[in-house]
Structure 1
Amino acid sequence: MGDLIGPRLYSCYKCRNHVALHDDIVSKGFQAKNGRAFLFSHAMNVRSGAKEDRQLMTGLHLVADVHCADCGEALGWKYEKAYEDSQKYKEGKVVLEKFKIVKENW
């Protein structure tokens, strides 16, 4: 029998709560205040904060900060609405900062 290997995951760097699947990465080319970030089609075990309009490098977006559901650590943000047509693909997707997540099952 072969070893059972689960999906490749990302976890909160503080408490190891599973927050995203590697297969859900849309882009690794995002930039956050503190360095690189990944765009995921969705995240799990996270809570969204209040929605607010925020001026980002790619224009004005309605976003909500995303926190680990277990320890409350801020991990990134979710795009709730993009005001420019070229940015609509981000709607409903989640950005997680690379230094806030750790790889599991790699």
Structure 2
Amino acid sequence: MTSIEAIMSGILGTLLILTPAAVILLRPVFRRLGDYLEAAAAEKRRGANGRELTEMRAALERFESRLTLTEERLDSRLSLTEERVDFQEKLLSDRNAGAPGSAGGQKGPVAS
């Protein structure tokens, strides 16, 4: 066996022993590092989602308040319109209940 072959077999033997040992020893370290990086990434995503969620809730509250105001305005306008329709119906029924001989049921001018 030449000196190069001896060196190569020594390097090969060392690699065959050190590689599994390094994997066995460093695997927990890299697993922890991976867990830490995953947790940091998840926290970063949660932070962005939490901020978006807060903004969406604020926008929803603004929308609900505007919707409530619009609903109140529509209710008041609807009740006012109903009162006007009732008043017009009353006027029409009074007009139609007028003198039977007048045109269209309208009372004619009062003769003096």
TM-score using structure 1 length: 0.16
TM-score calculated relative to the size of structure 2: 0.16
Higher normalized strand content (fraction of residues) = 1
Q: Which has the larger radius of gyration?
A: 2
